[in-house]
Amino acid sequence: MKNKALLFLLLGLVLGVFLSFSLLRGPVNRAMAEQAAALIGLEMTPPEIDTMIPDLEELQAAYQSIRDQHIDNSLTPALLFNPLPEGFEIPTADESVAFNLPKYVQLPEKRDSLAFYSIAELSALIRSRQISSVELTQFFLERLRKYDPQLHCIISLTEERALAQARKMDEELARGFYRGPLHGIPYGAKDLLAAAGYKTTWGAMPYKDQVLNYDAAVIEKLDAAGAVLAAKLSLGALAWGDVWYGGKTRNPWNTEQGSSGSSAGSASAVSAGLLPFAIGTETWGSIVSPSTVCGVTGLRPTFGRVSRYGAMALSWSMDKIGPICRSAEDCAIVFEAIRGRDERDPTTVDAAFNYNHKLEAKQLRVAYLKKDFEANYGFRANDSLVLDQLRRLGINLIPISLPEVPDISFILGAEAAAAFDELTRSGKDGLLVRQVRQAWPNTFRYSRFIPAVEYIQANRLRSAMIEEMHKTLRDVDVFIAPSWSGGNLLRTNLSGHPCVVLPTGFDEGAPTSITFCGKLYGEAEVLKLAALFQANSDFHLKHPEAFR
């Protein structure tokens, strides 16, 4: 994708994308060029068009030379997105990370209660040897088998691998070697992450038998931390929505509804107590949205915090990987294990993560998007209660406004169309289950008409927006926003800022959420504020009745 994406976008200049559809239609003529110019809103005189025609024919030949090569989804473009505003310094001073780990937890008489224990609680049980990793893994494997027919959240069980890793963790613990709070803890991974020996289907029919015989960087890191991969979980086909080739992933709170997407299976499995945590990804809401719908806590890290090596590429400048858990504290535990520089993903950086549960949250400078919260939207009542609760906890909320988001969301479409160029040209996009207007096949097709100049101009406006955000957030540690209402979800996915989405109650039986956002690389502060709120509320402790 490295050369394909950039050459396709840059060689296109003004008319290139349109011309790419005419490769098999003979030489370029004036009428064709006039139609292309009209499509993208340019006026050119006949002499101007005639002068261009030989150059357009050369571009045609260049496009064909690119298409004659196979460009794998794993190849990244030469131009890399950098979210850093002018003068911003990446925090690198590491301090001791301190999680709020219980010293002792009693094994419950009723084993089913383990389904909703936190990572910290399960970790205490394993470390004290009240339960083995093998026993815990078998427990969650049984729940995955039992409830998947209702939820359609599993693409592959990784049972053989899981039990081998669990046995290894038990043997190490018996020798006195303890890897940390994820030692022996089962989890699931969104099935756009490669895992050696198992299919990596991307949730899409054209790739349902694809096997990538290596591990994604995130899975490598979780292996090293002692975690146990128990399942590859469903995602909406090619990371859109909750519909994949095996059906629609369901919401445990209401199995008549989908679980949103695209980290559909990850959020559904954690919500139903099928796994203690799961790995999701987000490009534009794919952690925030299913976490909201399923009533769980999700962390979308800063762009470049977590390596995407071994993950399906959708948008090189927007894709991010993060954990979906029961609580903010659990998210912090998982994030500590998966973050860091990886030379195989050139967008990653080394940045400090100084999470400390003892930090006095009242020291944080917390703002809120006043205009967004004053609008009339679905979660407003519960969001207002959250803001009131934070004030009662001693948090001084500062009203702010952030720059409006330019109309540049087509950046995602342009990059995604390049990532799946061969799928579109082969006609195999017709194998995807969803063929409606708001689905990838149509988006891939119309995005080929985005001129390279407009793509670059959009990214220039993106840079300006990032600079404006930096000025506003200079003296802010955390800012609070509605999860869906307003433009913050798109704004922060374009800018690369981190967020935690956490449950805030219910509206007519459906979970609601709010979003705590941070400065770039400010995950520790965001998670600390979220942990404070959860320590003084019980919304994250609510679980769907049908899966208890």
Active-site residues, by number, are 190, 262, 286
Q: Which amino acid is at 210?
A: Q
C-alpha to C-alpha distances, 398 to 79, 368, 371, 391, nearest whole angstrom: 37, 6, 12, 11
Phi and psi at 151, nearest 5°, equal -105, -25
What DSSP designation does 41 have? T
C-alpha to C-alpha distances, 175 to 168, 190, 329, nearest whole angstrom: 11, 33, 28
The terminus-to-terminus CA distance of the chain in angstroms comes to 45
Q: For the purposes of burial, counting CB atoms within 10 Å of the CB of 46, is it exposed (0-12), middle (13-18) or buried (19 or more)?
A: exposed
3-class secondary-structure state, position 189: strand
Q: Which residues of 372-393 are buried (b: 16+ CB within 10 A; e: fewer)?
A: bbeeeeebbebbeebbeebeee
- 282 has which bridge partners? 320
Q: Which amino acid is at 6?
A: L
* Rounded distance between C-alpha atoms, residue 194 and residue 200, angstroms: 6
Q: ω before 262 within 30° of 0 (cis)? A: yes
What DSSP designation does 385 have? H
Q: Are the beta carbons of 409 and 433 closer than 8 angstroms?
A: no
Considering only the C-alpha atoms of the chain, give the largest distance between any 2 of them, rounded to a whole number of Å.
85
Please say whether the dihedral angle defined by the alpha carbons of residues 279, 231, 284 and 217, taken in this order, is positive or negative: positive
* Rounded distance between C-alpha atoms, residue 198 and residue 155, angstroms: 10
* Rounded distance between C-alpha atoms, residue 239 and residue 241, angstroms: 7
